[in-house]
């Protein structure tokens, strides 16, 4: 695909939500990890809101077994709504449904076996068709002035091709991420945009081409599907999205976008707790009380 062509609008987003969430057991024994709340909204709800704020119109969830709660979340809850309505609880009623996507704008497909992120995205190929699309991993939350995906769509409008949300991580952590091999000869007027000449999934620090890591935000061209069709298992024996994107380098643009904002790794216990604190401090109605409570908690724990 040529990059001189003005890029086609990104209308669809894929949310891979098939993971088992074993790091959060027993909380995730009968509840999808994507339904874990940060303050009062499930992780998947933040991902959905971010996509919506970026202009996404079609929301595609790649689920797995025991993920019904996600489907229910994006549907009406008649009993609850009718009870709230009888009690004239308008605000609560709005929270249950005024954000729901239009009928027909949400789809669910299933990844029958956990074969990796690349495989999960590939499962959405028929729902995407031949157009660019976004991928959002709900585990990765980005607290920012402008929603992360919206920032990336602006970068995409500029350079087209494939855009990956990226940030630097400590060298010892490269083995947890897809890492960008940066093409330093390519200069872009937007300093946040970095051209990739390679990508490596989860390299050991000694083998990492940089410390610039991919976080769970992607804008991809549909060409990735024909690569994923034949993609061999990579790191961890899984079909890796990073490897498929890497194969597109040279045929079409692959850029990293150093987004503005702070990323919380809600796939880890500590990141999840930190996100809860950070997001509760963002809310004016809870901020002061949370600060006071935390001061007390720290004092009791013998910390200043």
Binding of ligand G1P by 215 (CB under 6 A): yes
Provide, rounded to whole angstroms, the least separation between the CB of residue 250 and ligand G1P: 20
Total residues binding ligand G1P (CB under 6 A): 14
Provide, rounded to whole angstroms, the least separation between the CB of residue 199 and ligand G1P: 8
Binding of ligand G1P by 245 (CB under 6 A): no
The piece of 127-135, 150-158, 235-243, 271-279 that touches ligand G1P (CB under 6 A) is 235-243
Binding of ligand G1P by 213 (CB under 6 A): yes
| 214, 219, 249, 275: which one binds ligand G1P (CB under 6 A) | 214
Binding of ligand G1P by 201 (CB under 6 A): yes
Binding of ligand G1P by 177 (CB under 6 A): yes
Q: Which is nearer to ligand G1P, 84 or 138 (CB)?
A: 138
Geometric angle at alpha carbon 31, from 26 and 34, rounded to 5°: 105
213 CB-contact burial (10 Å; exposed 0-12 / middle 13-18 / buried 19+): buried
Provide, rounded to whole angstroms, the least separation between the CB of residue 98 and ligand G1P: 31
Provide, rounded to whole angstroms, the least separation between the CB of residue 81 and ligand G1P: 35
**Which phi and psi (to 5°) does residue 168 adopt?**
-80, 140
Say how many Å lie between the first and final Cα of the chain, rounded: 56
Q: Which is nearer to ligand G1P, 136 or 290 (CB)?
A: 136
State how far the Cα of 110 lies from the Cα of 115, in Å rounded to an integer. 12
Binding of ligand G1P by 50 (CB under 6 A): no
The piece of 33-41, 183-191, 239-247, 249-257 that touches ligand G1P (CB under 6 A) is 239-247
Provide, rounded to whole angstroms, the least separation between the CB of residue 157 and ligand G1P: 24
Report which residue's Cβ sits closest to ligand G1P: 178
| 137, 227, 246, 249: which one binds ligand G1P (CB under 6 A) | 137
DSSP secondary structure string for all residues of 85-103: HHTT-HHHHHHHHTTPPPT
Binding of ligand G1P by 136 (CB under 6 A): no
Binding of ligand G1P by 242 (CB under 6 A): yes
Most distant CA pair in the chain: distance in Å?
65
Binding of ligand G1P by 161 (CB under 6 A): no
State how far the Cα of 13 lies from the Cα of 23, in Å rounded to an integer. 26
**What is the CB neighbour count within 10 angstroms for residue 229?**
10
- List C-alpha distances in Å: 298 to 280, 294, 295: 17, 6, 5
The piece of 88-96, 107-115, 208-216, 245-253 that touches ligand G1P (CB under 6 A) is 208-216
The contacts found for 74-79 with CB under 8 angstroms, 24 or more apart, are 74/48, 74/100, 74/101, 74/106, 75/100, 76/100
Q: Which is nearer to ligand G1P, 221 or 242 (CB)?
A: 242
State how far the Cα of 54 lies from the Cα of 114, in Å rounded to an integer. 29
Q: Which two tokens stand for residue 179?
A: 């890492």
Binding of ligand G1P by 140 (CB under 6 A): yes
Q: Which is nearer to ligand G1P, 56 or 120 (CB)?
A: 120
State how far the Cα of 215 lies from the Cα of 74, in Å rounded to an integer. 25
168 in the Ramachandran plot: left (φ > 0), alpha (ψ -120 to 50) or beta? beta
Give contact residues for ligand G1P (rule: CB under 6 A): 117, 137, 140, 177-178, 201, 213-216, 240-242, 267
């Amino acid at each position: 695909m040529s990059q001189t062509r003005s890029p086609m609008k990104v209308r669809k987003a894929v949310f891979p939500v098939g993971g088992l969430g074993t790091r959060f057991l027993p909380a995730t024994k009968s509840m999808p990890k994507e339904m874990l709340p940060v303050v009062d909204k499930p992780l998947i709800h933040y991902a959905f809101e971010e996509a919506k704020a970026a202009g996404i119109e079609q929301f595609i969830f790649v689920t797995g077994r025991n993920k019904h709660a996600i489907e229910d979340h994006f549907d009406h809850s008649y009993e609850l709504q009718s009870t709230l309505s009888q009690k004239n609880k308008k605000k609560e009623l709005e929270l249950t449904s005024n954000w729901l996507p239009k009928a027909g704008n949400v789809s669910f497909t299933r990844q029958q076996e956990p074969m990796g992120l690349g495989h999960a995205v590939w499962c959405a190929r028929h729902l995407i068709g031949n157009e660019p699309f976004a991928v959002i991993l709900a585990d990765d939350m980005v607290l920012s002035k402008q929603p992360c995906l919206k920032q990336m769509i602006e970068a995409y409008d500029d350079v087209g091709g494939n855009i990956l949300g990226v940030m630097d991580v400590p060298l010892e952590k490269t083995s947890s991420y897809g890492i960008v091999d940066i093409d330093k000869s390519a200069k872009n007027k937007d300093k946040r945009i970095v051209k990739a000449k390679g990508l490596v999934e989860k390299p050991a620090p000694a083998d990492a081409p940089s410390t610039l890591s991919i976080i769970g935000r992607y804008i991809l061209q549909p060409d990735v599907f024909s690569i994923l069709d034949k993609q061999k298992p990579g790191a961890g024996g899984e079909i890796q999205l990073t490897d498929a994107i890497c194969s597109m380098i040279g045929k079409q643009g692959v850029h990293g976008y150093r987004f503005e904002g702070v990323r919380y790794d809600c796939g880890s216990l500590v990141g999840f707790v930190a996100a809860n604190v950070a997001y509760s401090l963002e809310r004016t109605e809870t901020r002061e009380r949370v600060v006071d409570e935390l001061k007390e908690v720290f004092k009791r724990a013998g910390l200043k």
